[in-house]
Amino acid sequence: MHKVSVIIPNYNHANYLRKRIDSVLTQTYQDFELIILDDYSSDNSREIIESYRNHPKVTHVVYNNSNSGSTFKQWHKGIDLASGKYIWIAESDDWCEPTFLEWLIKPLEEQKDCSISFCQSYCVEENNNIKWYSQHKKLNEVIDGKLFIRKHMLSGNGIFNASMALWRKETFRSISKDFLGFRFCGDWLFWIRLASMGRVAINGRVLNYFRKHKNDVSGKAYSTGFNYVEEMNVINTIYNEHLIGDSEYKRLFKQKFKEFWMKRKNFNKGIKNEVMQLFRIPVSPKVNYRKVFLFSVLWHELKYS
């Protein structure tokens, strides 16, 4: 059995796929298997994938007969096939440094209660220009998972790209799989749940390259307002599971409502009604919707008057 199962879920990323696969196969740490999944691509991805089928590291190649419509369902399919102790979801349009696995596997091996190990990442454009990169103050740090959630996962998703993390498969079996029902925020809920099960290792080295596309799933969610539907569902879920308290919930509620109120005119009636329904019924008794509403409206009027 291999220590690490690397899963590459691909959909129409033929232009980047060879770079992705090669960056996995040339890792300095070599105790891994490679699972390649294709979600019914319409480009020449299949031709590229087939050129790697007989590589000794490749244990599974699976083509869907129709598009699943969900990245997270593809993750789950790969995990079911995985024989490794640790999982790396290596997105098909990203790539990494040769020492990625070498650095990230260390804390997982040394600390049995460590559930996630992740590094910093460059965010690159389609032409490979670097837009920005994440940073951490310490070269190596391992912290309690619930503290990690409060410090790094509430203002946004601290693990913003699946390719930047390695995690323990055994822990995955213990968490709810309802993240599979999300189209946009499933990874945010997934990382929060996984972090809550143990400790999180943060590596300050920039070892991953995350490719950001103009028309990706997150961009579409933000443009339609659907992100607020899923974000509030995640916030309500983690409050109900006691992963955050009333003060954190109140802060997030006010932050999301203020953002939504500023942008509401850009969204259609159906989305606006769905979002407002979530805001009208806060799950924390400490949140007064009417006060938040009046404060946000007044703040908006004063700022833009």
Whether residue 272 has pLDDT greater than 80: yes
Question: Which of 241, 239, 278 is CA-nearest to residue 256?
Answer: 278
| Contact (CB, 8 A) for 208 and 100 | yes
Residue 221: alpha-carbon gap to chain centroid: 15
pLDDT value for 155: 84
Specify the fold of 4-214: Spore Coat Polysaccharide Biosynthesis Protein SpsA; Chain A (3.90.550)
Count the Cβ atoms, other than its own, within 10 Å of residue 25: 16
Bridge partners of 140? Answer: 203
Q: How far apart are CA 61 and CA 9, in angstroms?
A: 10
**pLDDT-based confidence at 297, cuts 50/70/90?**
low
| Contact (CB, 8 A) for 94 and 211 | yes
Q: What is the mean pLDDT of residues 238-253?
A: 95
Residue 230 zone, left/alpha/beta (φ > 0; ψ -120 to 50; rest): alpha
Q: Are strands 140-144 and 58-63 parallel, antiparallel or unpaired?
A: unpaired
pLDDT value for 302: 45
Q: Where are the domains of the chain?
A: 4-214, 218-304
Report pLDDT digits (tens) over 188-229: 999 999 999 999 999 999 999 999 887 555 556 578 899 999
Angle 226-240/217-224 helices, nearest 10 degrees? 100
**pLDDT-based confidence at 293, cuts 50/70/90?**
low
pLDDT value for 221: 59
Task: Provide the 3-class DSSP secondary structure of residue 78.
Answer: helix
First to last CA, the chain: 65
| Contact (CB, 8 A) for 169 and 82 | yes
Bridge partners of 58? Answer: 34
The rounded mean pLDDT for the chain is 93
Whether residue 39 has pLDDT greater than 50: yes
pTM of the predicted model as reported, rounded to 2 decimal places: 0.92
pLDDT value for 219: 59
Q: How far apart are CA 203 and CA 62, in angstroms?
A: 32
Report pLDDT digits (tens) over 76-115: 999 999 999 999 999 999 999 999 999 999 999 999 999 9
pLDDT value for 183: 86
| Contact (CB, 8 A) for 184 and 226 | yes
Question: Which of 37, 225, 191, 198 is CA-nearest to residue 108?
Answer: 198
pLDDT value for 217: 55
| Contact (CB, 8 A) for 142 and 114 | yes
CA distances from residue 127 to 103, 137, 211 in whole angstroms, order as listed? 28, 29, 9
pLDDT value for 126: 85
pLDDT value for 188: 96
pLDDT value for 46: 98
Of the candidate ranges 20-24, 65-69, 183-187, the one whose mean pLDDT is the lowest: 183-187
Residue 252 zone, left/alpha/beta (φ > 0; ψ -120 to 50; rest): alpha
Q: How far apart are CA 264 and CA 26, in angstroms?
A: 47
